[in-house]
Structure 1
């Protein structure tokens, strides 16, 4: 039996070479779970880490009944790690937070207040603590994405989200699609809402993003999304006698 089926919310945490952050992840997530609005667990997705991240994840899971993990020996990237986590869990709701904890797990409760009415509830990084250059890159990428996809999301890069698992499992993921969750929800006729959440500077480890993959990737992915949107298959079964 899949243990995540016993929970209302499974919080997916992709991990790639984040050994210096995992002690803090354990501390903050274990403190949050008893106060979550719904019964919640954590699922680490080790994405081919080459440091001691996997050993640390296993140790954390051995200390906490509500912490689980899946692991790959190869690094596939954030979108694939998210997809692997979504496919692995069986809870009603799927949560997502980055392992650098630049957002606060306690703010999941802000999102959960709206999760009954919206298939995707996402954070907006209020008073963002990144450099001016990094904020500028994100502003350019978000503006171009909105013009190409027609979604109204203002901060798709915010690493704090709650989704209905039934919708998340249907989303047509491919590399880079973690930036397009509101637009993908639109394809599935899902509703999304954004809320301001707290944001902090990275305190340990190294960011996996830079100018090249923060601008070039989203630029190309927008064209991939437009191509997919025109060919996306939607249907509803209105009658059946198969059972």
Structure 2
């Protein structure tokens, strides 16, 4: 049984997946893990690439497919509910996230203790365009000011989170950008790990700069409302008498 389920949400990343799987195998050597690729309605050769890769890999490689694209957050949800490991590690399928940080995040989460729910990667040396970096910086500043989640960069795809906690979170198109705040809402803390960003190898980003700006503001308002209307989950214990 795998201890760690690595969930890769992706759409039209067939050219990036083989090398990414190579790197994951090297980074996770000696650990019990599985890889779940959530194919979010891809229209390229993702299915045939994964069929070939599944034969080659010494670790379990599972392929979940959405009939239609549902977005990154709901892809993570599909992976979370399929996961067999007690920790889910997420990584983007475009190759910009370096898999060598997956064991770093997993170990940081375990070492932090039971009061911590997620290890969140925070990118250094961003490889995106300047305008995208500025837009991301403003979005992170606004989110942090409103939600007080003490996280510099929640958009990083590298995360490690206890599977049972991840399954408790509300899922909507944008959840992945608010995981620290939602984990805090559940009564847990967040541990942060700096990671170094890389350039995309093949293809182009499935996410624009301005097309998600309004949606991001609406999502932020929704998460703020949720936190205002729901108190933190209490720690509950059963006291036995007699």
| Normalised TM-score (structure 2) | 0.90
Question: How far off its partner does 1:158 sit?
Answer: 1.0
- Residue in structure 2 matched with residue 112 of structure 1 by the alignment: 106
- The 5 A counterparts of 1:1-243 are 6-35=1-30, 38-64=31-57, 65-116=59-110, 117=112, 118-232=116-230, 234-235=233-234, 237-239=236-238
In structure 2, how many angstroms separate the alpha carbons of the residues matched to 1:125 and 1:238?
A: 38
Pair 240,84 (structure 1): closer, same or farther in 2 beyond 3 Å = farther
Runs in 1 of length 4+ with deviation above 3 angstroms? 233-241
Runs (5+) with no aligned partner, structure 1: 1-5
Deviations 1:173-212 (A, max 9, x none): 1111110000000111111111111211111111011122
State the SS of the aligned residue for 2:121: strand
For 1:59 and 1:214, the matched residues in 2 are separated by 34
Q: Deviations over 1:17-42 (max 9, x none)?
A: 1122122222222222315xx42221
Distance 2:229 2:96 in 1: 36
| Aligned pairs, number | 234
53-62 vs 94-103, greater mean Cα deviation: 53-62
Aligned counterparts of 1:187 and 1:44: Cα–Cα separation in 2: 28
Q: Any gaps of 5 or more consecutive residues in structure 2?
A: none
SS of the aligned residue for 2:13 comes to coil
Instruction: Tell me, in whole angstroms, the C-alpha distance in 1 between the residues paired with 2:99 and 2:73.
Output: 20
Alignment deviations for residues 38-57 of structure 1 (CA, whole Å, 9 cap, x no partner)? 42221111111111112212
In 2: Cα distance, 1:107 partner to 1:238 partner = 35
Deviations 1:37-79 (A, max 9, x none): x422211111111111122122212322421121121110101
TM-score (structure 1 length as normaliser): 0.90
CA distance in 2, matches of 1:213, 1:119: 31
